[in-house]
Amino acid sequence: MMHRLAFCFSITLLAVPFGAASNAMAQTTRAADIAQAFADHCFSPRLTAQSAQAQLGTAGARVDFYDLRPFTSAPQSPVTGAAATAGTDRRCEVSFDGAEPQVVQQGIITGLAQEQLTDLVDVPAGFPTTTGATYRAAVMLNPNRIAVVQSGVRDGAQGVETFARVERLIPLNEANQ
């Protein structure tokens, strides 16, 4: 009888860490799925608010998107989440519960590579750093456009959340006027 009790106790002790490890693995997998969705869609100039929600929201991310100057004939996507960052006309951001900053940073790097956006430049002077950002870079989209990418961890409505965002600045020739 004692051996059975000891065996059951051992199984119970093993189950607790395994369950915790399983939850952590599931969170990392979800984070990787969201980071890949960010990479696959947020850098596309054809993304709209509706398609952003469809492509990114289904991956389990909270989405903050606006595009005041669409690349195509699609209608404008107005600012509906956080206030627009001064000097930008487009934002695509994903966020989710938990702390996985390295995973979303890799999503940003993957997205830039997929779109062949390799011409890194300095982040424009005065461009605000998003609270909690641990990664920040700027890239030339074309000779007249810069995008700033940021990712990190911040306090969210449900506790700690991870975010990745890309914001397109207004054209350089307009910014200098």
Domain count, the chain: 1
> What value does the mean pLDDT take over residues 38-55?
94
Give tens-digit pLDDT for 19-39: 444 555 556 689 999 999 999
> What's the whole-number average pLDDT of the chain?
87
Question: Tens of pLDDT along 107-165?
Answer: 999 999 999 998 899 999 999 999 999 999 999 999 999 999 999 999 998 999 999 99
- pLDDT given for residue 14 in this prediction: 44
Rounded to whole angstroms, what are the CA distances from 130 to 53, 82, 148, 152, 163?
A: 22, 11, 11, 9, 10
* Residue 10 reports pLDDT greater than 70: no
Range of the domain at 41: 2-175
Q: Where are the beta strands (DSSP E) in the chain?
A: 62-67, 88-97, 120-121, 133-142, 145-156, 159-169
pTM of the model as a whole: 0.83
- Mean local confidence (pLDDT), 77-98: 96
Residues in the chain, overall count: 177
- Give the pLDDT of residue 27: 62
